[in-house]
Structure 1
Amino acid sequence: MRILGIDPGLQTTGFGVVDVAPGQSLAYVASGTITTTHLDRGNLPARLKALYDGIAEVRARYEPDVAAVEIVFVNVNPQATLLLGQARGACVTALVACDLAVAEYTALQMKQAVAGYGKAAKTQVQEMVKRLLNLPGLPGKDAADALGLAITHAHARTAIDRIGQAARTSRRASAMYKAGRAY
């Protein structure tokens, strides 16, 4: 399975691609950033289009099976939060427009999964991503976060699959609706 991680940002969006082998071993494929700093800061539609096009290009080049995107946190500055939300929306839209399934994780969940501590510093995440993927050097901060999201999904996917299998095998007739839906 190939997983694309996306760390959305209006100025710099990180991406990271990892392969997950059947034995849960991770293999680095690619990482990098999509930037909008070359565009006029006041031209939000052009910046969002650059993000959309960049994500679509990454998706077409690496052909991932699923994507993992960071959930936006509420910032002290509401305007910055709104702008980040729009950048994230452009990224998610580019992914779903290509019929790619999208999983979402908070920064805290990613840091917990990668570094073992939900409030880990960016440098700690970079170092752990380097170790987990056996990289020769530290990835950039945004790329490391994106790779961390892909790693998080690789680990969470296994647990989600096991829960789904357990739910299918332990389904009770008393919990079913007439329409055939169960929970």
Structure 2
Amino acid sequence: MRVLGIDPGITRCGLGVVDVDPSRRASMVFVGVARSSTELAQHFRLAKIADAIDHVISLYEPEVVAIEQVFAQDNLRSVSTTMQVMGVALAAAGRAGLPMAIHTPSEVKSAVTGNGNADKAQVQHMVARILGLDKPPKPADAADSLAIAICHAWRGTGLLGARGDSTVAVSQSGKLSARGSLTPAQQMWAEAQAAQRRTGAVDPRRRRS
């Protein structure tokens, strides 16, 4: 499986392509960041990001695109621009006719490090170890994009728009569908994803009772 992982950001958008064989062994195909200048108007910045994503898809021909879910934080302006980049990535996958998977930050951390609360240094270290690299790719956005790709390649769930090639899928509205029976772990993951998408992309740690 060849996966394009995207860590959305308006100044630096991480782009990483990973191949994973049936034994779950992963290898890096490409890693980089799409940059846009703060001196450009917002729509021109988004266009540069879109062009970069289109170029990577055309050049490396991934089978699926995986992107990290944006969570609301204190800086709403930052969240707004990041979500715009996420929309650009969704559109790029749609233009290419590729299925898209969306994974939460804690899901990515758990898949790569075994700890859903791992810090960036731990994630970067494990990405380098998994891919057999001498050191983690820089900047952090690049390493994060590889982590997202690895997460999807290993879990293979949550595809949007897949044609019968996903065991379980959760739509953006939180509708759960499955092909065949699910393991208890898959069922728990799917139900958590469905609940999260029904309540919106808000970090549960920031919800107040």
* Shorter-chain TM band: 0.7 to 0.9
CA distance in structure 2 between the partners assigned to 1:67 and 1:80 by the alignment = 23
Paired residue for 2:167?
Answer: 161
Specify every segment of 5 or more residues in structure 2 that has no aligned partner in the other structure, as ranges: 159-165, 169-177, 183-209
Return the TM-score normalized by structure 2: 0.74
SS at match of 1:166: coil
CA distance in structure 1 between the partners assigned to 2:142 and 2:180 by the alignment = 33
Specify every segment of 5 or more residues in structure 1 that has no aligned partner in the other structure, as ranges: 168-183
2:100 to 90, 99, 102: 102
CA distance in structure 2 between the partners assigned to 1:68 and 1:157 by the alignment = 10
Q: Deviations over 1:105-148 (max 9, x none)?
A: 01111011111112211111110000011112211211111100
Q: Deviations over 1:87-114 (max 9, x none)?
A: 1111221121111111000111101111
Return the TM-score normalized by structure 1: 0.84
Alpha-carbon RMSD across the aligned residues, in angstroms, is 1.8
2:167 is matched by which residue type in structure 1?
D
CA distance in structure 2 between the partners assigned to 1:15 and 1:28 by the alignment = 11
Task: Answer with 1 or 2: which has the greater Rg.
Answer: 1
Give the Å deviation of 1:161.
3.3
Q: How does 1:82-121 map to 2 (within 5 A)?
A: 82-121=80-119
1:23 is matched by which residue type in structure 2?
S
Paired residue for 2:150?
Answer: 151
CA distance in structure 2 between the partners assigned to 1:84 and 1:100 by the alignment = 21
CA distance in structure 2 between the partners assigned to 1:20 and 1:8 by the alignment = 22
Residue identity (%): 38
Give the Å deviation of 1:158.
7.1
1:17 is matched by which residue type in structure 2?
V
